Structure 1
Amino acid sequence: MIYDINYFNRRYHQIESDFLEIMDFIHISDRFGDPCYKIGSSKLMDFCLKVGTEIETLFREILNDKKFDSEHDIAIKRNNQNIDVYKKIIEPKYELRRYSLFVKPIKVEIFPFIKFESKTPEWFKIYSKDKHNKLNLIQNWNMMHSLFSLGALLLLVIN
């Protein structure tokens, strides 16, 4: 890895701080169907781009680790990285789908990578599809996606 874990740990805390600042304006609840999770905004769009690029960077760094050198066609996969490669190569070793986080303020357990072996998380689909179209991202990205993507980033950092 190019950067040590402290770099990614610091970045996580900076991004978490951004999320907590957003929570000053958008309060979250223990029911994901509540209106607070359906709000889109330019602040959330900025958060999406920040957390999404950090997650992609971490996935790239993880895949470039020598522990994956023995994987079939790893050079091709490293040159053509995408979420499907991460699901196929990283998921079997890390089992991200099994990890959950308990969100203390709302007393809810979340699974940011639920069914990751076979499904791309909704928050990643939206980030990936709309990251180059900010107007769409404002409409499609919401507080729930922010919460789950922040959880995903934490899981990648601590693993």
Structure 2
Amino acid sequence: MNELPLWGWLTIAIAIVIVAVLAFIAGRLLSRLKQQNQRRDQAIEKRNERLHESIVTIAKSVDQGQCPLSEGALRLVVLLDLRVEVNKPNYTERYQGLHTMYERIKHMPTHEARKKYPKAEIRQLDNEREGYEKELEDAILADVRQILKDFS
């Protein structure tokens, strides 16, 4: 019978220790990864809940005439785009009126940026925006009501 020399047994023992240490490290890393993924998923869920609440609130205010159609469209399109979903619906196709308004007015200055433009130009942009609101009112309101159904 052929016996293994002492150095052979030592090599096997060292190999077993190395494999055990690597298995332990891999297990800890997998555990940390699982925890990190859970925290990420919880953060995404919490963020989506806040977005959901904001979307419903804005849609209700647009539907009730408390928020201008153009402002509501801008806000809703951005909020819908920010949602993180596994099988994210194509909101551009689903809410075409909102997206049409968004595309037409997204270049227009808002808030502080408006102050940098001459009043005549701001008036012209406001008239243009109001024209779009009249043109797209029915489509936007239909989209807002659909959002309220989809998100309730």
Same fold per superposition (TM over 0.5): no
Short-chain TM bin = 0.3 to 0.5
Higher helix proportion (structure 1 or 2): 2
Q: Which has the higher contact order (CA 8 A, sep 6+)?
A: 1
Structure number with bigger Rg: 2
